[in-house]
Structure 1
Amino acid sequence: MKIERLSTDKIRIFLTFDDLTERGIQKEDMWREIPKVHELFSEMMEQAYSELGFDASGPLAVEVFALPAQGMVVIVTRGKMNSTSSDSADEEEDIYEMEVTLEESELISYAFSDFEDLLRMAKVVLPMLPEGGKLFSYKNRYILQVEPSDWDEKDSRYQALIAVMSEYGEATSVTQAVLEEYGKTVIAENAVQVLCSHFQ
């Protein structure tokens, strides 16, 4: 579980599927009101408080983005407090005063710190992915995002693609919106094909 502060009232939490499995939570459970999910949210908020000093009292807006093969990104935004009560029992209830929105992204997003690794990966996946893919530069790394829209997560090609990308790079939770705003677009479309044709 990785937690980072986006602003005074907003944090981002990246949960891997291992984080969920360890707690006996399936991806689909995040859509349901069950005690295990409440425990996970409590644990996330405690960790956010101890690591970042993020106080989760008051109303919270929680956005959950499911990313294929990587895990989930949870963005928590703190609303304004209506009362100034500091009663701990009230605060415990406030944690669950949250509005949850869920989105599932089909994007597969991998980061490569070495351009050579990115090229080697591109040459291996080209037969699987002859078109599509966007390449960004962000925080001194190359981030490749692909959207194999017609593949199912259980498809062997999908699994093979993830396996190769994991061998050369690492899954990242940076969203396309963040990359477009704060990163630099290196190759806007058909990134794998362009890389292979330019760098033999």
Structure 2
Amino acid sequence: MKIERLSQDKIRIFLTYDDLLERGIQKDDMWREIPKVHELFSEMMDQAYTELGFDASGGPLAVEVFALPAQGMVVIVTRGKVTAGAEDRLGEDDEETDEDIYEMEVTMEQSDVVMYAFRDFEDVIDACKQLKNAGLTEDGRLYSYNGKYILVLEPANIESSRNNAVIAVLAEYGEATSVTYAMLEEYGKVIMASGAVREVCTYF
């Protein structure tokens, strides 16, 4: 589980599927109101407080969950403002604070786009050559974001039977990224807009 602060009132949590499995949670459980998911959320908020000093108590939280194929889930938590009435209620009865703390508005989004981050361009070259030589794909878009290179592949352009092989190659040279595609589109810099695997192999 990786937690990072995006702003004073917003954090991003990256959960791998291993993180979920360790807690007996299936991917689809994240859509459901079950005790295990509440326990996971409490654990995430405890860790956010310990690591970042992010205090989730005392106000409504907007929770966005993005499911990424083969990588895991990105959870973005935005802390809302506490109304005066809510403060009074919290003061009256501490036992009810849990309800107020996690007054969550959950938005789920599922993405089929595969994204992997690479620290060095050499790793991008090695991954692209292996993908091309194995006949897995020549497609993709390449971005620069936050000091890393991010290769984005659309599953529509990869035969489903080769999906696992593609991810195995990407995982060998890069790492699953917690960046959502929307953030990448907004803040990333496009290096190669299409045919990135082919282009990298041609020029490098």
Over 3 Å counting, the alpha-carbon distance change for 1:39 and 1:165 in structure 2 is same
Deviation at 1:150, TM superposition (A): 6.4
Distance 1:170 1:71 in 2: 12
User: Which residue of 130, 143, 146 corresponds with 2:150?
Assistant: 143
Tell me whether 1:175 sits opposite 2:180 in the alignment: yes
Deviation at 1:179, TM superposition (A): 2.4
Deviation at 1:176, TM superposition (A): 2.5
Q: Which runs of 5 or more structure 2 residues have no equivalent in the other structure?
A: none
Deviation at 1:151, TM superposition (A): 5.8
Amino acid at match of 2:98: E
Q: 1 or 2, which has the higher helix percentage?
A: 2
SS at match of 2:4: strand
Counterpart for residue 192 of structure 1: 197
Aligned length: 196
SS at match of 2:137: coil
Cα RMSD (Å): 1.6
The percentage of aligned residue pairs carrying the same residue is 66
Counterpart for residue 61 of structure 2: 60
Normalised to the residue count of structure 2, the TM-score between the two structures is 0.90
Distance 1:162 1:99 in 2: 32
Q: Which runs of 5 or more structure 1 residues have no equivalent in the other structure?
A: none
Tell me whether 1:14 sits opposite 2:14 in the alignment: yes
Distance 2:187 2:60 in 1: 29
Q: After TM superposition, which residue ranges in structure 1, 4 or more long, deviate above 3 angstroms?
A: 85-88
Residues 63 and 101 in structure 1, CA contact (< 8 A), matched pair in contact too: yes
Q: Report 1:70-149 matches (<5 A).
A: 70-82=71-83, 83-84=86-87, 85-86=90-91, 87-126=93-132, 127-131=135-139, 133-149=140-156
Normalised to the residue count of structure 1, the TM-score between the two structures is 0.92
SS at match of 2:179: coil
